[in-house]
Amino acid sequence: MSVNQISVFLENKPGTLNRMTRVLAEHDIDMRALSLAETKDFGIARIIVDDVIAATTVLKEADFVASLTPVLAFDIPDEPGGLARLLDTFTAAQVNIEYMYAFLGGKKVNRATMIFRVADTKHAEAALVSRGLRPLSQEDFE
């Protein structure tokens, strides 16, 4: 039940991020989450959208380099200790996190959604599910 994250490589110059978001907006694609990392010459926008196929298609048609990456997504209570309790389970399952990001304002009130990139998504998911966690699926973002 992993989620497909779209990684978009962006030239590090004014207007590039705006152009990417404009392409998505013009095709009625809703970004559910966004993380932006940068280096000197380029940035990487990591996005979760409501329609992965359409988003990837229109981004490539607009000459963006975009790739899909499986990630795990979990809802947590939006309260002190919510993330720590989730990470306790990751630690118990010996799941290493490569990177993560969060967003609020999803479909559930008083919840935050955490996105995790791990080395072996299927193994990590099985280990976490066996410990009682329920990952979100792509359909949860549509």
Predicted confidence at residue 44, as pLDDT, reads: 95
Higher local confidence (pLDDT), 108 or 28: 28
Residue 107: band (very low, low, confident or very high) from pLDDT cuts 50, 70, 90: low
Its pTM stands at 0.89
Q: Look up residue 132 and give its DSSP letter.
A: T
Contact 111, 140 (CB under 8 A): no
Across the range 118-137, mean pLDDT stands at 90
* Domains along the chain with CATH numbers: 3-69 (3.30.2130.10), 70-141 (3.30.2130.10)
Task: Count other Cβ atoms within 10 Å, centred on residue 124.
Answer: 22
Higher local confidence (pLDDT), 54 or 40: 54
Predicted confidence at residue 131, as pLDDT, reads: 85
Checking if the pLDDT of 55 tops 90, the result is yes
- And the tokens for 128? 């976490």
Checking if the pLDDT of 6 tops 70, the result is yes
How high is the mean pLDDT of the chain?
A: 91
